[in-house]
C-alpha cells in the first residue's frame, strides 16, 4: 500500500524519504546507534535519487542527496577543512563499477585505478605543518569538522611528527580489529553492537585519557601536499609510507581491463580480514585526470565505492528472550528458525533494546531478514512480514530474580539493579573464569551453571572452596574423579595468576587490563594500596592524575572499591591464597623497565607461556606496550611455533622478531 501511494504522490514520497534519511544520518553519525543497515539506508537514498531524476520539479535544493552526512557535534571546536572531504558515490553492483571505470578509460586510455579496502570506521583528517601534527579533524559536513586533536594523539598509528618537515594533509580511517573489539566489549559488559559504532563513539569522548583505553587504529587513504610534486596516487602512497604514515599494504593499481579480476579476488579475501570492511574504493590514480573529471555537488567523479552486499538471510522468529549480563544490562535477542549465514548456522540474533523492537515491529511469528553486522554479531535488520503474533512487550521485571527493571534517564537499555540476581552472579563467575581473565581450565559456562544450580557456587570466592567439597562434586551426575580432578587442578593453577590479572578479572566497571596496568605502574601494587587510597578524600583526584585514567574512570574505581561486598570478596580471595599484591620479584621487575618504549605483539604457540597472554603480561610488567596486531608502530614480535601472517608482516616491516628462547633469555637478564 505504501509503495502504491508513493507512486501516486511522488512529491509526498520524496519529502518522506528526506525525513527518513536525515533521521538515519543523525543516528549513524551523531548517536553512533544506527537502526538500519547500510544496505537499507542505501536503498532509501537510491530511491530518493531516482525520484529526483524522474520528477526534478519536486526536488528540494536542500535534499540529503546534495549534501554530505555530518558527524558535527557541539562538544568540540570546529575547523574549516582545507581540502574537500566528500562522500563517494556507491553501488552494490560490480557491473556498475566496471561501467564507471570503462567510461573513464574511454576518455583516458592510460587510466590506472587504485583499489583499496573500504574500511568500516570513521574518517579523520590529520593536518601537519612542518612535519608536526597540528590538528586532527572529523569529516563533519565535508566542509567543517570537529577538531579532536587531543583524542587523535592517543592513537598509536598517528605519528605526532613526520620523518620530514613538510606540510601535509592526510585523509584516513580510524577503525578497530574484530579481536580488539571483542576483548574491549567483553570487559565493558558487551555494550557495543559492532566495531564501527565503538570507533566513532570513542573519537568523540570528551576525555583523551578515555580514548587512550580504546584499541583504535588508523590507516591513510589519501594525502595532499604542496611541499612536493607528486603526479599520482601511487606516488602519494609511497611518499606517505616514507614519512611514517601507515597506508594500505595491499593497495593495488590496475587498468580497467583487470578490475573484474581484482574485485573477484578481494571478494574472496574479505572474510579472512581481521578488521571490518564493507566494500572497495576505486579511484583514478593520476591527479591530472582527477582534475579534469572534477566533482559533482556531493561526490568526486574520479572515485566510487563498490559496496559488498551484506550476507543476509530470511527466517522466522520463534521466540524472543532477554538475557541479564554481569553489569545488570538486560538485552533482548530473537530465537530463530536455524538459518545459514556467512558460513555458520545462526539460531539467535540481537534485537538491541526495547525501542529497536518497537520500531522494527519484531514479534514471535514474524518473517525477518537477518545479517551479520560487522561480520560479527547476527542482528535482525528488517521485518518482512509481521505475521499475526502479539506485539512483544519488554518485561517489567528481571527474568532471573523478578526485581523491577530500571531504565536510567537518556539510556536505551533496561538494568537489573539487584546485587543478588542469579544471572548477574553466573555471568560474573563466567567472566572471572574466562580464558582472558583467570583462565580456569574445566570451569566453563556449562559447568558453572550446574554448580550454581546445585548450590556449590554463589560468589567468586566459592570457586576456591570447591576442593573442600571434592566428594560431593564426584557424586554429581556427569561428574567423576577424573573430571573433578581436572577442574580442581585448573582452580589451583589460577591461584598463581599475577595480581594484575586478578585485578581486571574481578569485572569492575572501567577496570580492564589497560587500566590495571596503569594503576600498578603508578605504584598501586596491591589490593591494600587500592583500598587504602579509596579511603582518602582526594582519591579520585589522585587517580585522575595518572596518565591514561580520566575522571570518569577514577570515579568508577573509587565507588566500586568502597562497596563492602567487594571488600569482603577481596579478603576472601586473599585468604584463599590468590595474588592480591605484586610479590617482591615482580616489584623488582616493574622497577626495571627493560621494554620501555617498545611495542610488542605475539603470535604462534609456546612451551613456557600457556596461554601466550602470559608472555605479554611480562612485557607489560617491564614497561612495554602490548598490541594485538602488527603495524609500523610495532617494534617487536614474539614468534612461537606455527606463526602465521603476523610473522610475514613483521618481516616485511623489518621488525625485531624474537623467539621463545630469546625472550626467556631477555627475561632472565632483566
Residues labelled catalytic: 118
Cβ–Cβ under 8 Å, residues 90 and 279: yes
Judged on CB neighbours under 10 Å (0-12, 13-18, 19+), 398 is buried
Cβ–Cβ under 8 Å, residues 148 and 76: yes
Residues 251, 126, 308, 263: what is their CA dihedral angle, to the nearest 10 degrees?
A: -10
3-class SS at 196?
Answer: helix
DSSP one-letter string for 541-597: HHHHTSTT--HHHHHHHHHHHT-HHHHHHHHHHHHTT---B--HHHHHHHTS-TTTT
Q: In what order do the strands lie in the sheet containing 122-129?
A: 132-138, 122-129, 168-175, 217-224
What 3 state SS string does 212-279 have?
HCCCCEEEEEEEECCCCCCCEHHHHHHHHHHHCCCECCCCEEECHHHHHHHHHHHHHHHHHCCCCEEE
Which residues does residue 252 pair with via DSSP β-bridges, in sequence order? 115
User: How far, in Å, CA of 346 to CA of 375, rounded?
Assistant: 13
| Residue 537, CA distances (Å) to 80, 173, 532, 534 in order | 44, 42, 11, 8
Start-to-end CA distance of the chain, whole Å, equals 75
Cell of 528: 591494600
User: How far, in Å, CA of 158 to CA of 173, rounded?
Assistant: 11
3-class SS at 82?
Answer: coil
* Number of neighbours of residue 216 by Cβ within 10 angstroms: 27
* Number of neighbours of residue 220 by Cβ within 10 angstroms: 23
Cβ–Cβ under 8 Å, residues 627 and 156: yes
605: which DSSP letter? B
- Among candidates 525, 514, 455, 457, which has minimal Cα distance to 491? 457
Cβ–Cβ under 8 Å, residues 276 and 195: yes
User: How far, in Å, CA of 517 to CA of 524, rounded?
Assistant: 10
CA-based torsion, 445, 450, 451, 455: positive or negative? positive
φ, ψ of residue 415 to 5 degrees: the values are: -130, 145
* Number of neighbours of residue 17 by Cβ within 10 angstroms: 21
Amino acid at each position: 500500500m505504501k509503495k502504491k501511494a508513493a507512486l501516486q504522490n511522488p512529491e509526498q514520497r520524496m519529502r518522506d524519504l528526506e525525513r527518513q534519511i536525515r533521521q538515519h544520518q543523525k543516528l549513524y553519525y551523531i548517536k553512533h546507534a544506527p537502526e538500519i543497515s547500510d544496505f537499507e539506508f542505501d536503498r532509501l537514498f537510491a530511491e530518493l535519487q531516482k525520484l529526483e531524476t524522474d520528477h526534478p520539479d519536486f526536488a528540494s535544493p536542500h535534499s540529503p542527496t546534495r549534501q554530505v552526512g555530518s558527524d558535527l557535534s557541539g562538544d568540540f571546536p570546529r575547523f574549516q577543512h582545507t581540502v574537500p572531504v566528500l562522500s563517494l558515490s556507491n553501488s552494490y553492483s560490480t557491473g556498475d563499477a566496471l561501467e564507471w571505470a570503462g567510461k573513464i578509460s574511454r576518455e583516458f586510455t592510460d587510466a590506472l585505478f587504485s583499489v583499496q579496502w573500504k574500511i568500516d570506521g570513521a574518517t579523520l583528517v590529520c593536518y601537519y605543518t612542518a612535519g608536526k601534527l597540528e590538528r586532527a579533524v572529523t569529516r563533519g559536513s565535508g566542509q567543517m569538522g570537529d577538531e579532536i586533536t587531543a583524542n587523535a594523539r592517543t592513537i598509536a598509528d598517528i605519528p605526532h611528527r613526520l620523518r620530514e618537515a613538510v606540510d601535509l594533509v592526510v585523509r584516513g580511517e580510524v577503525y578497530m580489529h574484530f579481536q580488539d573489539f571483542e576483548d574491549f566489549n567483553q570487559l565493558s559488559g558487551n555494550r557495543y553492537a559492532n566495531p564501527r559504532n565503538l570507533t566513532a563513539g570513542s573519537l568523540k569522548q570528551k576525555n583523551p585519557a578515555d580514548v587512550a583505553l580504546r584499541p583504535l587504529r588508523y590507516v591513510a587513504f589519501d594525502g595532499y601536499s604542496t611541499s612536493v610534486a607528486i603526479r599520482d596516487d601511487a606516488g602519494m602512497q609511497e611518499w606517505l609510507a616514507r614519512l611514517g604514515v601507515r597506508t594500505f599494504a595491499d593497495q593495488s593499481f590496475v587498468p580497467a581491463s583487470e578490475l573484474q579480476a581484482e574485485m573477484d579476488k578481494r571478494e574472496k579475501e574479505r572474510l579472512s580480514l581481521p578488521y571490518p570492511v564493507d566494500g572497495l574504493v576505486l579511484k583514478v590514480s593520476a591527479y591530472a585526470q582527477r582534475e579534469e573529471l572534477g566533482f559533482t555537488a556531493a561526490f568526486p567523479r574520479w572515485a566510487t565505492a563498490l559496496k559488498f552486499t551484506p550476507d543476509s538471510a530470511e527466517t522466522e522468529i520463534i521466540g524472543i528472550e532477554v538475557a541479564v549480563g554481569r553489569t545488570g544490562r538486560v538485552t533482548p535477542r530473537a530465537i530463530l528458525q536455524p538459518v545459514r549465514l556467512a558460513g555458520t548456522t545462526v539460531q539467535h540474533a540481537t534485537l538491541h533494546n526495547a525501542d529497536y523492537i518497537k520500531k522494527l515491529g519484531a514479534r514471535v511469528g514474524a518473517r525477518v531478514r537477518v545479517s551479520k553486522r560487522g561480520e560479527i554479531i547476527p542482528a535482525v535488520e528488517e521485518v518482512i512480514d509481521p505475521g499475526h503474533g502479539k506485539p512483544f512487550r519488554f518485561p517489567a521485571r528481571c527474568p532471573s530474580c523478578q526485581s523491577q527493571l530500571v531504565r536510567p534517564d537518556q539510556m536505551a537499555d533496561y538494568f537489573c539493579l539487584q546485587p543478588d540476581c542469579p544471572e548477574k552472579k553466573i555471568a560474573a563467575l563466567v567472566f572471572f573464569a574466562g580464558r582472558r581473565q583467570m583462565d580456569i581450565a574445566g570451569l566453563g559456562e556449562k559447568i558453572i551453571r550446574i554448580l550454581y544450580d546445585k548450590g556449590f557456587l554463589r560468589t567468586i570466592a566459592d570457586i576456591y572452596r570447591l576442593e573442600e567439597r571434592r566428594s560431593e562434586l564426584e557424586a554429581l551426575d556427569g561428574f567423576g574423579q577424573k573430571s573433578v580432578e581436572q577442574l580442581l587442578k585448573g582452580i589451583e593453577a589460577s591461584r598463581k595468576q599475577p595480581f594484575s590479572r586478578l585485578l581486571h578479572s574481578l569485572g569492575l566497571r572501567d577496570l580492564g587490563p589497560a587500566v590495571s596496568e596503569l594503576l600498578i605502574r603508578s605504584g598501586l601494587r596491591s589490593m591494600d594500596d587500592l583500598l587504602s587510597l579509596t579511603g582518602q578524600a582526594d582519591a579520585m583526584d589522585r587517580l585522575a592524575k595518572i596518565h591514561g585514567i580520566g575522571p570518569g574512570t577514577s570515579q568508577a574505581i573509587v565507588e566500586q572499591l568502597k562497596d563492602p561486598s567487594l571488600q569482603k570478596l577481596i579478603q576472601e580471595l586473599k585468604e584463599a591464597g590468590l595474588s592480591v599484591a605484586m610479590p617482591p620479584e615482580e616489584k623488582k621487575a616493574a622497577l626495571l623497565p627493560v621494554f620501555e618504549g617498545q611495542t610488542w605483539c605475539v603470535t604462534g604457540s609456546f612451551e613456557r607461556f600457556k596461554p601466550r597472554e602470559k608472555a605479554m603480561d611480562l612485557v607489560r610488567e617491564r614497561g612495554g606496550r602490548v598490541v594485538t596486531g602488527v603495524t609500523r608502530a610495532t617494534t617487536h614480535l614474539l614468534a612461537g611455533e606455527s606463526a602465521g601472517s603476523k610473522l610475514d608482516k613483521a618481516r616485511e616491516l623489518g621488525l625485531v622478531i624474537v623467539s621463545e628462547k630469546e625472550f626467556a633469555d631477555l627475561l632472565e637478564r632483566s
